[in-house]
Amino acid sequence: MCRFWVDCRLYRGRARDGMGSMNSKERVLTALATQEPDRVPINYYANPGIDLRLKKHFGLKHDDGEGLLKAIGVDFRDIRAPYRGPKLHADIPERGVKVDDWGVHTMWVKHSSGGYWDFCDFPLKGATEEKVAAWPMPSPDDFDYSGIEARCKEREDYALVLGDAGMGDILNSTGFLMSPEQTLMDLVSDEPGVLLLINRRIDILLEVVARTIEAAKGRLDILWVGEDLGTQQKPMISMDLYRRRIRPFQEKFVALAKANDLKTVIHTCGSSSWAYEEFIEMGIDAVDTLQPEAVNMAPAYLKKTFGGRLAFHGCISTAGPVASGTAAETTAYCREILEIMMPGGGYGFSPTHCLQDNSPTENVVAMYEAAHRYGRY
């Protein structure tokens, strides 16, 4: 059962008790407007191993994802139209390879604390324009939009999010099919195959997003997009390449969000603050991930440089005390981040990436307990 029972009781009841506290939707939208809510909004991402351990800790069934979100006080809920079309690419069971609807190949890789699905094969590496044109991709007609409004109504007190870290990204998703190296080289040289692949995928995603927004009938709050733009030390690409080949697609998603009164959050891993002025210029509301170990990503630097012009989401390192420290060290670390990022509002508490399976359960519990204890205005 929940170790910090007083806080858990508070998480489950306070948002709807009519006693003056904001509900989750109000809390998130206030933070995205770079204002101070009643407490910092809270979010959660985790790998399967730690996710199962957390459910066990809270006395939940292994498939009770909603119960876990409520137990730790998460203010966001995902809304998406599931794909119901035919399987377009066959798995390769003899090699243990799974192939998704876009044709991306993944293979299970074990490590000391669990495992993960890693990308492999890169079936469109070196592909001609003709091969890319013939590559099967999902049709927007094969997504099920029928239950979107009902799911939104069920979660109406929460901040409702359409999209994720991979929505509309270029470098990663193209790299999953063509390989990261080939993708970067082909973008620089304007190879027609890579440009066609990107345009085909983005056109489909934009249509799916537009239809999902329409089906939600004004109930969505956030469009979440992504693009990893940095290594730990420096930008991954030049500003020129970003402006030529990345920003034009981001602008399409931002325009779609604005046309439907949605906030836009963008996920960017690594040293990515070099692009934040571009985000501000095009009207993005918030940046996600905020890996504090990366160059020019220290919390104090981000808050001083961009605070009030961008909201922030993330900053709790999955490579820091949460993974390698004690529960007390995790609490102290989270409190320090909150003290830097909270003043003036505009901050959402979240791990920088999926919580890893090597993170002790007690540390992750301490992390979310700290958010509730020290994250109130």
The residues spanned by each domain of the chain are 5-82+144-173+185-193+202-374
Which amino acid makes up residue 333? Y
- Backbone phi and psi for residue 163, each to the nearest 5 degrees, phi listed first: 105, -175
Helix 48-57, helix 361-374: angle, nearest 10: 70
Confidence band, pLDDT 50/70/90 cuts, at residue 20: low
Q: Which residues contact 305 (CB under 8 A, 6 or more apart)?
A: 273, 276
How many other CB atoms sit within 10 Å of the CB of residue 95? 11
Burial of 346 (0-12, 13-18, 19+ CB in 10 A): buried
Residue 11 has pLDDT above 60, yes or no: no
With H, G, I as helix, E, B as strand and everything else as coil, classify residue 85: coil
Which amino acid makes up residue 193? G
Residue 216 has pLDDT above 60, yes or no: yes
- Show the beta-strand stretches assigned E in 159-285: 159-163, 222-226, 263-268
CA separation for the pair 90, 79 (Å, rounded): 27
Residue 115 has pLDDT above 90, yes or no: no
CA separation for the pair 134, 140 (Å, rounded): 17
Provide the mean pLDDT of the chain: 94
Residue 2 has pLDDT above 80, yes or no: no
Confidence band, pLDDT 50/70/90 cuts, at residue 16: very low
Q: What is the dihedral sign for C-alpha 56, 62, 65, 67? A: negative
- Rounded to the nearest angstrom, the gap between the alpha carbon of residue 120 and the centroid of all alpha carbons in its chain is 22
Mean per-residue pLDDT for 337-360?
97
Instruction: Provide the CATH number for the domain formed by 5-82+144-173+185-193+202-374 in this structure.
Output: 3.20.20.210
User: For 43-61, how does the pLDDT look when each residue is reduced to its tens digit (9 = 90+)?
Assistant: 999 999 999 999 999 999 9
Mean per-residue pLDDT for 244-248?
98
For residue 29, the model assigns a pLDDT of: 98
Confidence band, pLDDT 50/70/90 cuts, at residue 147: very high
CA separation for the pair 208, 145 (Å, rounded): 9
For residue 7, the model assigns a pLDDT of: 36
318, 8 in Cβ contact below 8 A? no
What strands lie across the sheet with 114-120, from one edge to the other?
A: 97-99, 105-111, 114-120
Confidence band, pLDDT 50/70/90 cuts, at residue 112: confident
CA separation for the pair 354, 294 (Å, rounded): 17
